[in-house]
Structure 1
Amino acid sequence: MLVQNKGNYILHAAGVMLIPGANKISEAEWKDFSSHPIMKKVVDDGDVVAEKSFGELTAPKAVELVKDTFDPSLLEAWKKEDSRKTVQEAIDAQLAVINGENEDE
């Protein structure tokens, strides 16, 4: 399952580590993480959100998630499974950012 850490910090609880952005974890890991006493508040506040599978997201929501993802292997996996043009373009753009391409500065 996909879990989005909307914060700017790595979160670690119940043996689960979530980097900022999208993370792929098992349902059992999500259950452990989201029921942890400290992380329960973070989840309740909406700072960590469990998402549907990537292919079930609307294109705008998928693009938003892509822009918040910094795991190249996860982006590449999504690129293979999703054929929507706007999503493909967002993935290419995010991979370019991660790889340090298109730096105009």
Structure 2
Amino acid sequence: MLVQNKGNYILHAAGVMLIPGANKISEAEWKDFSSHPIMKKVVDDGDVVAHEEEKDFKDLKAKEAIELVKDTHDVALLNEWQEGESRTTVLEAIDAQLAVLNGENEDE
């Protein structure tokens, strides 16, 4: 399942680590993480969001997918999404995020 850490910091609880942006974890890991006493507040405050269990990245609306891409720092996950993606706007967002993560597009 996709879980989005909207903060700018790594969260770690119940043996689960969430980096900023999108994270792919199992439902069991989500259950453990979201029920942790400290993380329960973070989830309730909307700083960590689990996308619907039945939804995969390709099932998100283009706007949601692009927002998630812009907040994702996991190159392997971006590459995985890129392989299965057909929407031009989403592919452009993935390419742009990969370029940023690879240090491209900096002031030349």
TM-score (norm 2): 0.95
Q: CA RMSD in A?
A: 0.8
What one-letter code is carried by the residue in structure 1 that aligns with 2:92?
A: E
Aligned to 1:45: 45
CA distance in structure 2 between the aligned counterparts of 1:61 and 1:86, rounded to whole angstroms: 11
> In the TM superposition, what is the alpha-carbon distance from 1:67 to its structure 2 partner?
0.2
Ranges in structure 2 where 5+ consecutive residues have no aligned partner = none
Query: TM-score normalised to the size of structure 1?
Result: 0.97
Cα shift readout 1:6-32 (whole Å, capped 9, x = no counterpart): 011100000000001100000000000
Map of 2:25 onto structure 1: 25
Name the counterpart of 1:69: 72
Whole-Å Cα distance in 1 between the matches of residues 65 and 101 of structure 2?
Answer: 18
Instruction: Give 1:39 shift.
Output: 0.4
Unaligned residue ranges in structure 1 (runs of 5+): none
Aligned residues: 105
Matches within 5 A, 1:1-105: 1-51=1-51, 52-104=55-107
| Identity level (%) | 81
Structure 1 runs of 4+ off > 6 angstroms? none
The code of the aligned residue for 2:78 comes to L
Q: CA deviation at 1:104?
A: 1.5
SS in 2 for 1:7: coil
Residue 56 of structure 1, CA deviation: 1.0
